[in-house]
């Protein structure tokens, strides 16, 4: 994943603002280069279930997908934070990203941010590797 610095900073700010709950959203980009050029925060519909869970509001998520399409952008992936935990792809992350063992959004990347005491302390990107999700490199441009 390659992501513009201003977009990465916006994602970090959103996740820090949501602390101690998980922040989440959709990443859009240039359909030719795949560079992430936009981020769209999505309401965490699981806000009241605990601090370590997220579930994107499905209506808002669909509206976000449609807005990207209208803007001529491609869906490049998703982001969410792990409050007071590392930037890893958890069991719950894997389960919510799969349907009957197959990726729900093949070819898209999941950016996970570690937010500790309200500050982003790290980030990692994960994608489908054929047999499971694997960490991918990401570059801030």
SS3 (DSSP) at 47: coil
Across 42-62, b (16+ Cβ under 10 Å) vs e yields bebbbeeeeebbbbbbeebbe
**Is residue 22 flagged as an active site residue?**
yes
* Catalytic hit among 9, 18, 22, 63: 22
The pairing of strands 2-3 and 139-140 is parallel
What percent of the residues of the chain are helix, what percent strand, and what percent coil, each to the nearest 5? 25, 40, 40
Are the CB atoms for 61 and 91 separated by under 8 Å?
no
Task: Find tokens 């009241």 and name the residue.
Answer: 48
Nearest to 7 by CA among 30, 33, 40, 31: 40
Residues acting as catalytic residues: 22
């Amino acid at each position: 994943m390659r992501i513009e610095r201003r977009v990465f900073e916006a994602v970090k700010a959103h996740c820090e603002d949501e602390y101690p709950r998980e922040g989440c959203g959709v990443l859009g980009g240039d359909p030719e280069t795949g560079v992430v050029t936009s981020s769209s925060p999505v309401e965490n519909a699981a806000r009241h279930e605990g601090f370590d869970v997220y579930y994107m509001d499905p209506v808002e998520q669909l509206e976000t997908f449609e807005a990207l399409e209208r803007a001529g952008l491609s869906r490049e992936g998703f982001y969410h934070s792990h409050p007071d935990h590392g930037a890893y792809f958890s069991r719950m992350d894997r389960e919510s990203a799969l349907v009957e063992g197959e990726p729900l959004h093949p070819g898209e990347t999941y950016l996970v941010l570690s937010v500790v005491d309200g500050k982003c302390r790290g980030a990692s990107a994960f994608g489908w590797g054929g047999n499971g999700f694997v960490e991918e490199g990401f570059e801030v441009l």
